[in-house]
Amino acid sequence: MKENEHTADEKKVSMAASLKSGDTEEWIDLMFYRPLGYQWALLFRKAGISPNAITVAAIFLGVVAGFLFYFEDLRLNVAGMFLLVWANTYDSADGQLARMTGQSSEMGRILDGVCGDLWFIAIYVAICFRLMPAWSYGIWLLAAAAGYFHSKQAAMADYYRNIHLFFIKGRSGSELIRSEEVRQQFAGLPWKGNVMKKLFLWFYGGYTTSQEKMSPHFQELYQFLCREYGDDAPSQVGRLFRVGSLPLMKYTNILSFNTRAIVLFFSLLVGLPWIYFIFELTVLNVLLYYMVQRHETFCAHLLLIWKIK
C-alpha cells in the first residue's frame, strides 16, 4: 500500500473513532460538521486545548451570533449565521476531541448541553427585541412558549439518542444517566470549592427528571432489565431494541440543531423571524408527540416480550 493511501486509511479510522455511532448521526453532520469538527479536533489536540475550552469558545460564538440577529441588516444576519455554523463546528469538535483523547467527563457533558441552550436564549432575546416595535410584548409570550417546548424537544431527542447508544454500545458508549444518580452526586458533593459543579448538577438533575417523566414505559423496561441483568443484559435485548429504536433516530435529528438552523436562517433571510417560533410550536411539537408515542409503544411491547420469556 502506498504511503498516502495508508495515511488516508488511518485518517478514516480516526474520524470514525471520533463519532458516537453511525446510527445516531445525521447526514448533514456526517457530510459537513463532523469532518470540520474532526479537523478542528486535530488542531486543538496539537495545541493542547481541552474539550471544555472548545465548548466555552462555542458558547461565545453562538451568543454573538444571536446578538447579530437583532439587527434588520441582512449582512449582519448572514454574519450571525456564519458564526452560528462556526460555533456548531466547535460543538462537534469538543466531543470528537474528548473521544479521541479519552477526556470525556460529566462536566464536559453538562457544558455541552448548556452550550446549545445559551445559543438559543441569545437568539430568542435578540429576535424579541427586534420584533417588539411591531409585536409589543406579545412576541415575548410567543418566544417563551416556543422556548419551553424547544427545551422538551431537545431533551427528548438527546435522551433517545443516549438510550439507543446504551443498548447498542453499553454504558461506556452512552451518556445515559438516571436522575437518582445525579441527585446522589449532588448530595455527596460539598458546596465549598464546588459551587459551579453543584449548580450544574442541580440543573442537570431537573433535566434528567423531566426526561424520565416523559418516558414511563421506557423507565419500566430499563428498571426491569437492571433488576434482572444489571449492566449485562443479553445481546438479544440490544438487537431487539435497535430494531424499534433505529427508525426514530431520524426524528431525534430533526429535533436537534440542523433543521432548526435551516428554518431560522430562512426566517431571517425573508425578514420574518417569528416564523421560527411558529415552526417550533407546530411542526416540531407534532413530531415530538409522535416520536414519544412510538418510543413508548415499542418499549412497552419489548417489556411484555421479555417478561414472557
CA-CA distance, 177 to 197, in Å (whole number)?
16
Query: Quick one: pLDDT band at residue 10, thresholds 50, 70, 90?
Result: very low
DSSP helix/strand/coil, 208: helix
CA-CA distance, 239 to 230, in Å (whole number)?
17
| pLDDT one-digit tens code per residue, 126-150 | 999 999 999 999 999 999 999 999 9
CA-CA distance, 197 to 208, in Å (whole number)?
16
Give the CATH fold of the 1-135 domain. Four Helix Bundle (Hemerythrin (Met), subunit A) (1.20.120)
H-helix or E-strand containing 215? none
Q: Which amino acid is at 41?
A: A
Please return the burial class of 240, using the count of CB atoms within 10 Å of its CB with bins 0-12, 13-18 and 19+. Answer: middle
Q: What are phi and psi of 273, to 5 degrees?
A: -65, -15
CA-to-CA dists, residue 279 to 22, 69, 106, 131, 275, angstroms: 28, 18, 32, 17, 6
- Across the range 14-35, mean pLDDT stands at 78
Q: What are phi and psi of 166, to 5 degrees?
A: -60, -40
CA-CA distance, 39 to 228, in Å (whole number)?
43
H-helix or E-strand containing 13? helix 3-17
For the chain, percent of residues with pLDDT exceeding 70: 90
| pLDDT one-digit tens code per residue, 262-281 | 999 999 999 999 999 999 99
In the chain, domain spans: 1-135, 137-309
